[in-house]
Structure 1
């Protein structure tokens, strides 16, 4: 294609040619090339839709807009050169540099679009950890953007060795000036690699008033949606100095309740506890591989207390409370089946009537 453009430049640079006609001709060629590309793309897209794999759709989708842009911008640089040759006698070597920059930009653009398409496709499959996929995509984008910037600088004639030398000294200065920014960046890297939580997890911190669902983990800050639907923006450096609790990774949820019986039902406590334990052992929503305890615990001020200690199979917050409600209602039914009842706070007042000693004078009435 480059040799064809060179021949066209030689042809159109002849003094007896009108540059307006030349530009119009090149624009027409660009239009027909663009139409041909759209037809080819539509055909490739149709073929890709018929295949079982989806990676061909991902690759083809990344090429559409960048190739169309190249088919218009490359001939545009040729047209610019033809126009400027008619008015400027100086060398137009910078046009070759412009073409090289265009090629680099199109290549980086295709790669970034490909990374975005791959990220979206993998996330849609829901077979990989969302946080890990996003982290790899961000690192890949950053890597290719840096490669593109360095390629731009080299094409413009800048010395990369000198730039790297300056970067070593300048990096120290920038590092001191942007200490907080860098600490947040490395805090984000720590989250990505250590993975104490991921997007969608419910987290809380006993050290800070932080609790909610993780919506996004960025390079500088993490967005947490609290339970009253307020967004909470937490700098990533905070997570390196606080304790983070992740209830989303619980294996079970615990039911730990103390129930008091009346003192008048003292002779029924043992049988009630046995029946409650049998009920819990046969409950379909409780995990019998975990600890199960039902024992008389204490003599309360107005009740005989026994406690229930067990774990549910579910970790879902709503379902957990449904299971807990079912367990407590069945415990209450067992207590009533034994003609007993749950105690409530009571007080017993004992009044003793004292007898006056012999010979104690009583006041006379009416005197």
Structure 2
């Protein structure tokens, strides 16, 4: 072995003696570590696919890329230190800081990937409220971003106590300068926790010209898609000052109609009212547990007005109109079955019969 080394170049001999500080050997070791991680990952992937729980799948997916990155980047920082220490005589304290920053970045990366995976999985199950899930995920991301920022500041040697003291004074200045941004932020928090509406709800405001379907609830603004398919961007602070109606949460839809019968059919009004009421009580799409009114309501200018007031079981807008059409057609059939008819606006003019003597005198005066 000693005789073999005598034939090797001096540079190679030096590299073999300092193999632990050689970039080439560190890179090769990183490559083999990466191969081992790939094999271990595929083994774990097979194991977790056989379990009934999904959290292990989500966790494994979250750590896959960050661990691979760490396997390459951690030896890279060591190699960088070995390369530079031959050219820089000062102590490289910043290498330890760089390694600490790498650990913080990898940890936050894994946590954020885990939050994203859990959010997507929970939303795909459609067993939780979408707005609540998104709110919890955003708060979790914000929390870990703040933790990461504080950790990075501490890694650079900043005093957190001094930083928090400065933040108390600076926060007041920033709050006054960005009060609209903060009001929108807290308006978004109010929407998330009070939940007056959620993504997918149809909302409208009688105070503002706001009506449409909620597409997204952000920290600063809410996106509403109007019924003519235009996007409406509403700052969240607006919702703390207006009344918001949420028709998507109604339990029933109301049918309220005034139907006029001809005055000639006055004798048939009572029986028509009874049959209409009976029809509604037995209608499969009418909620008989809600208020149901069918009455002769008023003497109109040209009709006897009947009030029909009831509620459908469905809240779907299209289905509601189908039920309403069916009800109105059945009411019309009941009226016609009694040889009655629906009134339409009419006017009767009465002329007094002329006096013959006055007519003759008028004719003589016109002839003269």
Pairwise TM-score range, normalised by the shorter structure: over 0.9
Distance 1:222 1:212 in 2: 12
CA deviation map 1:225-251 (0-9, x unaligned): 111111111000000000000000101
Query: What does residue 175 of structure 1 align with?
Result: 175
Query: What does residue 319 of structure 1 align with?
Result: 319
How far apart are residue 191 of structure 1 and its match? 0.7
Distance 2:54 2:362 in 1: 109
Query: What does residue 255 of structure 1 align with?
Result: 255
Q: Across the two proteins, how many residue pairs are aligned to each other?
A: 355
| Mapped pair 1:241 → 2:241 | yes
**For 1:31, what is the secondary structure of its paired residue?**
helix
Contact 2:285-2:312 within 8 A present in 1 as well: yes
Distance 1:291 1:217 in 2: 36
- For the structure 1 residues 156 and 267, does the alpha-carbon distance in structure 2 shift closer, same or farther, using more than 3 Å as the test? same
Distance 1:125 1:197 in 2: 20
TM-score by length of structure 1 reads: 0.92
Query: What does residue 134 of structure 1 align with?
Result: 134
Where structure 1 has 5 or more consecutive residues not aligned to the other structure, the ranges are: 1-13
Distance 1:359 1:146 in 2: 103
* Structure 1 outlier segments of 4+, above 6 Å: 18-21, 364-367
How far apart are residue 356 of structure 1 and its match? 3.5
Query: What does residue 194 of structure 1 align with?
Result: 194
- For the structure 1 residues 363 and 69, does the alpha-carbon distance in structure 2 shift closer, same or farther, using more than 3 Å as the test? closer
CA deviation map 1:300-329 (0-9, x unaligned): 111111011000111111111111011001
Contact 1:19-1:82 within 8 A present in 2 as well: no
Distance 1:134 1:116 in 2: 10
- RMSD across aligned positions (CA): 2.1
Distance 1:15 1:333 in 2: 102
**For 1:341, what is the secondary structure of its paired residue?**
coil
How far apart are residue 18 of structure 1 and its match? 7.5
- For the structure 1 residues 269 and 91, does the alpha-carbon distance in structure 2 shift closer, same or farther, using more than 3 Å as the test? same
Moved more, 43-52 or 113-122: 43-52
Query: What does residue 90 of structure 2 align with?
Result: 90
Query: What does residue 230 of structure 2 align with?
Result: 230
